[in-house]
Amino acid sequence: MGFFVLGRLKTMALDFEQAFTERTPRIVNAAKLHRSSARKKANAFLVEGENSVDAAVSTGAATDIFVTERAAEKFAEIVTAAGYMDVYVHPITDRAAKSLSDTQTTSGLFAVCKPVLWSAGKILNGKPKLLAVPVETSEPGNAGTLIRTSDAMGADGVIFAGETVDPLGSKVARASAGSLFHIPTARDTNVKDVLGKLRAANLQILATAPQGDATLDEVDLTKPTAWLFGNEAHGLSPALLDAADIRVKIPLRGRAESLNLATAASICLYESAKAQNR
């Protein structure tokens, strides 16, 4: 190990002879950010991997980058950009990377970031035309995929309602593939308040349901819309289904009895985006 000079940024040579180890206090504190309580206390969160770190740097959310020697070479453009953005870049050992990662095979590239969550009110003040509202979502991979899909479909925001997984958790961030930094995302534990705010914003509220009032192709999707998506295991409660303007059924023409959360959301958001952009 030794010095690694990054591209044209000649003044920024990373000294891997002095790399942070798994015992370095900065690494120990960053590793704690996998816990929700630590994220709240530190007012920061940790992301890993090319897409998430690139998005964190380019949007100004990253405050610190941790990188192994191999990753510094592989992701030189990201690390160089971080230097230009006045983000602190710290060389780390492979063992330090393993202590920071929550995956079996680490990328060796991490960023500590400032919180990027919006309030539900701020999202709604922007007069959105299309929102995803996952309710009681507990699976990080589905939550991240929902954020990514909403971003891809041009939705105006994602509002996680109820006791959901933390959108700033590392697994959610990784599954969002950087979209967490691009699309306004909020978390509000009071589902009733969220519904009231959606109505006040003049959004039609559509709920996905196996026994719907109408099929997806029978609903007017040109209107400003908030889609309610239920918990992976139990779907939406009867009370929430009753609170929606329309319960919408996705026609299943094959033998499958149901769709998982991320797939159902992808279909609904795609159809809404298509209708609104004709």
pLDDT in tens, 205-221: 999 988 888 999 999 99
CATH topology (fold) of 120-276? Alpha/beta knot (3.40.1280)
Over pLDDT 70: what percentage of the chain? 96
Q: Which CATH superfamily is domain 3-113 in?
A: Ribosomal protein L30/S12 (3.30.1330.30)
Judged against a pLDDT cut of 60, whether residue 11 lies above it is answered with no
Q: Start-end ranges of CATH 3.40.1280.10 in the chain?
A: 120-276
Q: Start-end ranges of CATH 3.30.1330.30 in the chain?
A: 3-113
pLDDT in tens, 84-94: 999 999 999 99
Decide: pTM greater than 0.85: yes
The 3-class secondary structure across the chain, one letter per residue, is CCEEEECCEEEEEEEHHHCECCCCHHHHHHHHHHCHHHHHHHCCEEEECHHHHHHHHHCCCEEEEEECHHHHHHCHHHHHHHHHCCCEEEEECHHHHHHHCCCCCCCCEEEEECCCCECHHHHHHCCCCEEEEEECCCCHHHHHHHHHHHHHCCCCEEEEECCCCCCCCHHHHHHHCCHHHCCCEEEECCHHHHHHHHHHCCCEEEEECCCCCEEHHHCCCCCCEEEEECECCCECCHHHHHHCCEEEECCCCCCCCCCCHHHHHHHHHHHHHHHHCC
